[in-house]
Every structure is written in C-alpha cells, then in structure tokens.
C-alpha cells in the first residue's frame, strides 16, 4: 500500500520540461497537497549536497525531469532510480566556427582543433559528454570519427552545484553564474586557439548570433532521431525506487501533474513560450529560435519506443567514452506502472 509522504524533493533542468511548467503553474504542489505532501526545490537549497542531488540523485523521495546524462550516470553508479517518463523536445545542437574560418561543412573538421569543456571536479561532466555526442554524430554522417579531429580540453574548476539557484520574480537563474570560464571553449574559439566548438539550446542560438558565428551543422535538426539524441533528447523523468515502493501514489500524482502541464501547454503557445523563457533564462524570441515555433507542442512525456531507443543508444555511447562504468538495459530501468495507472484512471473517469 502507498504510504503518506511528508516531503517530495523536486528538480528540473533549465530547459523545457513538463515538470518545470507543473511547478510554475502550482500544479505539482496542488496534486501533492491533496495527499498531504509538501514539495521542496532541491536546487534552491542552501546545502550543496542537496543541490548536487540534481546530478547524482542521492536524495530519497525526489523527482527529477531533465537532461538524461546525469540520470544515466546515477543509475550506472548504482543509484536505485527508475524512469517513469521520457520527453523529447528537439533543440538546436550547433557546431560553431568563426565567420572567417575555412571550415564550412563537417568534412572540413578533419584534422582541426575542437574545443571541449572539461569540468574536472564534477561527478558527471554532462557538458563534455553532450559536446562529444554532437561532434561524434556530426562526423559519423560524413564517415568520420572523433579521432579524425584534435580534441582540446578547456578546464573548468568547481562543480555544477556550487551556487544555489536564485529566484527573482518567479524567475530562476539556475545558478547561471558559474563565474569566469563558463564559456572557456567559446573564448578559445574567439581567440583562434581552436577551430570549432559545440553549443546547444537557446543560449547557443543567441551567442552564435551576438558573436556572428558560423553554424557548421545543427545535429538537432537532422531527420534521424539517433543523430539528434543527446542529453536533452529525450529528457528523463526519474524517481528513486523507494518512492515507487513506499509512496506509489506520489509517483502517479507527479506524472499526472506533468501530463496536465503538457496538455495545457499544447493549447497555450504564448503562455508556454513565456514559461520556457523563464526556465531557460532567455527571451521568447531565442526560445523559439532554439526550440521551434511549435515548442509548446514538443512537451510530451511518455515511454515511446523512439525515446527508449534513443536513451539506450546514448547509454552505450556514455559507456564507450567512459563517462559511466557500465552500460545497462534501459528497458529494465523504466517502470511503466505509473503511466499505466494514470491511463487507467483517465479511462475510468472518462469511461
């Protein structure tokens, strides 16, 4: 039987997620209040260990919706988590060069220097993993491999959870201030130390514009889903097994509020665009540039075959590049029960 839960910790990435909208709309709070559960934001905590759980998922009774790399890493490192949903919101994934560069297409990257971030103190360096993935997928399309380019590391100190997220006017900055060096590889590109770098999402679109950079390829808009699959495609909605075992109704309520937020988004493009601008700390114009004019339609959490294949392929990638100690079966990681329960609840209600 499901036990009452006192506090649910929640966290989501500064990207388009159903959980993010459910939080902003107050629907997560509302759904859990009915079960006597209060909610707490993990990334706004004053404790670094709590904030770090956004990445390593150590906190019991927590839910996370966001980039799949930290979730895959936590699972591969032995955390007992389960995926209860996957959402695939395509976004721009850009390989960028200077405007005067002779690198115009992916083929031209052969033998050139590619700048990669390297967060030495982070448990899981998702920025490096996603850049490598974008690069490898781009090269693959031209029959090239990562070893055909010269990788240049840009060392970042600190971790991703050094600063608490600040919320001003309901707008989070997501610890955006990681201080100098946040864009070390971009600065390296401008200085001519490297020939190309990877950036993604709304900030990538904006920076490419402000600095007049040339887009060699956007793997995020390739027709083949496995070429597009990366940290954000698909994103994982995950909880710890303890929550599922002891507080199953909470898990169902979480999924229910996420789905409610997404269904609301489909018919509220303007409001959704504003929410996404809040979440990404960007403008509505840049949100649209990065996530499409149909960004509101791209919020769909389910357990589609395409998404499962995408996560499996990406898990194998992370293992091949030693970001995780062992690969595993993504199908076994998924717990479809909350989705099934939710569906039968809806069927009962409408039936």
Contacts for 45 with CB less than 8 Å, ≥ 6 apart:
51, 164
> Segment contacting other proteins (CB under 8 A): 34-42, 87-95, 119-127, 278-286?
278-286
Task: Report CA 228 to chain centroid distance, whole Å.
Answer: 13
Q: Which of 46, 210, 348, 350 binds other proteins (CB under 8 A)?
A: 210
195 or 335: whose CB is closer to other proteins?
A: 195
Q: How far is CA 325 from the centre of its chain?
A: 21
> Tokens 């200077």 sit at which residue?
98
Of 127, 130, 288, 307, which lies in the binding site for other proteins, with binding defined by CB under 8 A?
Answer: 288
Cβ closer to other proteins: 164 or 330? 164
Among 38, 110, 209, 343, binds other proteins (CB under 8 A): 209
**Structure-block tokens of residue 302:** 């389910």
Q: Are 151 and 131 in contact (CB under 8 A)?
A: no
Which uninterrupted H or E stretch holds 153? strand 150-156
Determine, following the binding rule CB under 8 A, whether residue 152 of this chain makes contact with other proteins.
Answer: no
Q: How far apart are CA 239 and CA 80, in angstroms?
A: 9
Pairing mode, if any, of strands 38-41 and 301-302? unpaired
HSE-CB for 230 with a 13 A CA cutoff: 32
Residue closer to other proteins (CB basis): 124 or 276: 276
Give the whole-angstrom CA distance, residue 98 versus residue 195: 8
Contact with other proteins (CB under 8 A) among 48, 179, 267, 344: 179
Residue with smaller CB distance to other proteins, 173 or 327:
173
Nearer to other proteins, 8 or 172 (CB): 172
| Distance, CA of 53 to CA of 165 (rounded, Å) | 14
In the list 53, 219, 280, 312, the residue contacting other proteins (rule: CB under 8 A) is 280
Helix (H, G, I), strand (E, B) or coil at 317: helix
- Give the total of residues touching other proteins (CB under 8 A): 37
Find residue 12's DSSP bridge partners. Answer: 65
Site for other proteins in 217-276 (CB under 8 A): 273-274
- Compose the 184-203 pattern: x for residues touching other proteins by CB under 8 A, - for all others: ---x--xxx----------x
Q: Nearest approach, Cβ of 42 to other proteins (angstroms)?
A: 20
Q: Which of 41, 62, 183, 301 binds other proteins (CB under 8 A)?
A: 183
State the residues that interact with other proteins by CB under 8 A.
99, 168-169, 171-173, 176-183, 187, 190-192, 203, 207, 209-212, 273-274, 277-278, 280-288
């Amino acid at each position: 039987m499901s036990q009452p839960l006192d506090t649910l910790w929640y966290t989501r990435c500064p990207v388009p997620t159903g959980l993010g909208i459910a939080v902003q709309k107050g629907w997560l709070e509302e759904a859990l209040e009915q079960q006597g559960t209060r909610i707490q934001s993990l990334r706004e905590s004053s404790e670094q260990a709590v904030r770090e759980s956004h990445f390593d998922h150590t906190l019991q009774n927590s839910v996370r919706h966001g980039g799949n790399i930290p979730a895959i890493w936590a699972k591969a490192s032995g955390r007992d988590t389960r995926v209860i949903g996957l959402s695939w919101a395509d976004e721009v994934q850009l390989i960028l060069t200077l405007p005067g560069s002779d690198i115009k297409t992916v083929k031209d990257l052969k033998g050139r220097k590619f700048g990669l971030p390297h967060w030495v103190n982070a448990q899981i360096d998702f920025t490096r993993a996603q850049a490598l993935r974008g690069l490898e997928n781009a090269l693959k399309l031209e029959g090239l491999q990562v070893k055909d380019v010269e990788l240049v590391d840009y060392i970042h100190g600190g971790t991703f959870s050094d600063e608490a997220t600040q919320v001003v006017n309901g707008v989070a900055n997501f610890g955006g201030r990681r201080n100098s060096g946040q864009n070390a590889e971009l600065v390296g590109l401008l200085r001519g130390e490297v020939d190309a770098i990877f950036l993604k999402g709304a900030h990538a679109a904006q920076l490419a514009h402000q600095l007049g950079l040339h887009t060699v390829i956007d793997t995020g808009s390739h027709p083949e889903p496995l070429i597009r699959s990366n940290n954000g495609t698909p994103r994982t909605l995950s909880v710890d097994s303890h929550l599922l075992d002891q507080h199953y109704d909470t898990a169902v309520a979480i999924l229910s509020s996420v789905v409610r937020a997404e269904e609301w988004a489909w018919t509220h493009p303007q409001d959704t665009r504003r929410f996404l601008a809040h979440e990404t700390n960007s403008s509505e114009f840049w949100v649209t540039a990065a996530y499409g004019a149909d960004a509101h339609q791209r919020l769909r959490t389910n357990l589609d075959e395409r998404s499962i294949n995408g996560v499996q392929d990406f898990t194998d990638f992370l293992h091949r590049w030693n970001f995780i100690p062992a690969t595993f079966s993504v199908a076994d990681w998924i717990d479809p029960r909350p989705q099934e329960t939710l569906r039968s609840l809806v069927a009962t209600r409408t039936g």
